[in-house]
Amino acid sequence: LVIILWRGYSQSTLPVPIIRVPKYVTKHVEKKKSKDLVHQQLLRRKILHRGNTSIPVISCTEGEYNHYLGQLYNDRYPLPLLSKFWYKAKTSGQKFTIRPYDTNPSVPIEYEENDPDIYCKTEFCDLILNSTICASVKNRFMFGAPAPIQILAIPKILEGENVMLCAEAGCGKTIAYLAPLIQLISKVKQKTPVYPNTPLGLVIVPGRELAEQVADIASKLGYDSGITVKVLLSEGTFLTHLKPSRYCNVDILVTTLGSLSKLKGRVFKLSNIQHLVLDEADTLTDKSFIYDLFSVFKTLNIRSSSEKFEGKHQGAQVTFVSTIYPSNISELYTELFTEKDVVKISSNYLHRIQPHVEQKFWRVNADTYAGELLHLVKTSYQKKEPTLIFCNKSPTCDWMTIFFKDNGISCEKLHGAMNPLERSKVWQAFQEGEFDILCCTDLVSRGLDTQRVKHVINFDFPNNTSDYILRCGRVGRVGTNHGHVTNLVASKSGVYTVQDIERGVRSATRLPNVDSNIKQKIKKLYFQH
């Protein structure tokens, strides 16, 4: 009994065993906490003013990287970017969203009656347009009031000035140059005789889909003014263009640069051209097309600033229209046509992110790439939400179409490797609502009217900011405030573009490295980074 009691007493006095954390683990945790503390202190030093915390502009998975409206940063430190290390695989899964923080800048603004500012012109008739064109704009295109860019551009074009018109996508640039063009040509027709196959106005665009769209708008806008519009596309054999049935009166000719180079002087005579328009001028002035365009300029007598339009043929008036500022425009200048002869008009949101469109950026890896895309597209398909899925290459569009159809999603493809007539049919069917999912390349991002589109997905993230601006311009256009963009970022080159976008939004400046030169883009992509 004594032995048993002694054992019980001795066991009760023994210390309770404690499970201790290894020293190397403790050091690692303390080092991590210290590093996080230093990082948070550095972030605080980088921020001068937090801004309005009730209006987030950038929402991140890492809360300390959130950016608010009016937030300012210290110039002594680099901007804090969530995408700074996205080129590393371990950042997969990180996300940030640019949230809508303002209204559509292209929507006509209501002004007070006694406002002395130029924007007080709230009717198309206030822009020196005749009543016929004003009625066509209102009745056929449902424009109640002119957009800001139209208020600036229409009077200058009517004055006979050579104009450089650069503004964000979907702001009404097509009406801004077609309405005054039709009025000027109507005046010329009243004073000079009209000859068959001799147009007075020439509109050059980079692609056939855009040519058909511009011709359709011009036909509707100029119908009541007696303006005849023809579209010239190099389809069929050369002999089909020389048939007698093609000889007719034409006032405005809409064509692509390739078709014009092949058929120039053989089908239509350009000797009487008095108005030249280059739509999507950043593409047309690229070094890949600049020599063909320069030959067109040599054929036409471009008007200088000293030659005001007085009803006589004193040279052709030229209008450059673009969403991206054409960096190679200087190569078109000659001794008779210089930079001083061009009036430059641009909007405040040129080369900026759309403030009314939600844009999500998602860092993904190769293993989850296709699965995340399928989930996004299924959601849009079930909601019957018209969606554009952008790819960088045509074979990717072909694969993606098969992939979606195998998973029960009805979709079509549209890229440059397809037959031109087939492309036109697919685009027309999408516009008429026969299907809602379209896999495409950057062919669709250039100037096409996509008011029906509500969702843009960048499966292959663009390698430059200019292509990103054009793709995002397919949603949130004038007349519509809906739309959102989802970006899947997997490539290293795409990470550099994301960093430029995030840097531009945080600093509230124009996006850096926006270049319309395709060859220069490739050089930067493969030799700079």
- What's the sign of the alpha-carbon dihedral 93, 465, 430, 358? positive
Two domains, one topology: 56-105+352-507 and 124-238+246-346: yes
| 408 Cβ neighbours under 8 A, 6+ residues apart | none
CA distance 124 to 139: 12
Tell me the residue ranges of DSSP E strands in 451-490: 455-458, 484-489
Query: For the chain, how far is it from start to end, CA to CA, in angstroms?
Result: 85
pLDDT of residue 1: 45
- Round the average pLDDT of the chain to a whole number and report it: 84
Over 90: is that where the pLDDT of 515 sits?
Answer: no
**Least trusted range by pLDDT, from 101-105, 301-305, 330-334, 351-355:** 301-305
- What's the sign of the alpha-carbon dihedral 287, 495, 81, 468? positive
CA distance 336 to 63: 58
Average pLDDT over residues 89-108: 88
SS3 371: helix
CA distances from 177 to 29, 198, 495 (A): 64, 21, 37
Asked if residues 201 and 252 have their Cβ atoms less than 8 Å apart, the reply is: yes
Average pLDDT over residues 287-294: 82
pLDDT of residue 235: 65
* Tens-digit pLDDT profile for residues 411-467: 999 998 998 889 989 999 999 999 999 999 999 998 888 889 999 999 999 988 999
CA distance 64 to 44: 9
Residue type present at position 198: T
Confidence of residue 311 (pLDDT cuts 50, 70, 90): very low
Over 60: is that where the pLDDT of 4 sits?
Answer: no
Strands 317-322 and 47-49, bridge-based pairing: unpaired
* Tens-digit pLDDT profile for residues 53-73: 888 999 999 888 899 998 888
pLDDT of residue 2: 46
CA distances from 297 to 13, 105, 417 (A): 103, 34, 30
Average pLDDT over residues 14-28: 76
| Bigger pLDDT: 179 vs 328 | 179
* Tens-digit pLDDT profile for residues 197-242: 889 999 999 988 999 999 999 999 999 999 999 998 876 555 455 5
* Tens-digit pLDDT profile for residues 465-485: 999 999 999 998 876 767 899
Residue 313: both structure tokens together: 């043929």
Over 50: is that where the pLDDT of 174 sits?
Answer: yes
SS3 227: coil
Q: What is the DSSP letter of 316?
A: B
Q: Which residue is associated with the tokens 């690229």?
A: 286
* Tens-digit pLDDT profile for residues 365-382: 888 888 999 999 999 999
Nearest 5°: phi and psi at 343?
A: -90, 120
pLDDT of residue 308: 52
Name the CATH superfamily, with its identifier, for domain 124-238+246-346: P-loop containing nucleotide triphosphate hydrolases (3.40.50.300)
Confidence of residue 522 (pLDDT cuts 50, 70, 90): low
Share of the chain above pLDDT 90, in %: 45
CA distance 127 to 184: 14
Name the CATH superfamily, with its identifier, for domain 56-105+352-507: P-loop containing nucleotide triphosphate hydrolases (3.40.50.300)
* Domain chopping of the chain, boundaries: 56-105+352-507, 124-238+246-346
pLDDT of residue 5: 47
| Bigger pLDDT: 349 vs 521 | 349
Nearest 5°: phi and psi at 442?
A: -70, -5
pLDDT of residue 126: 83
| Nearest partner of 317 among 296, 301, 333, 335, judged by Cα | 301
Residue type present at position 16: V
| Nearest partner of 394 among 343, 337, 440, 453, judged by Cα | 440
Element (H, E) at 438: strand 437-440
CA distances from 188 to 184, 195, 306 (A): 6, 13, 20
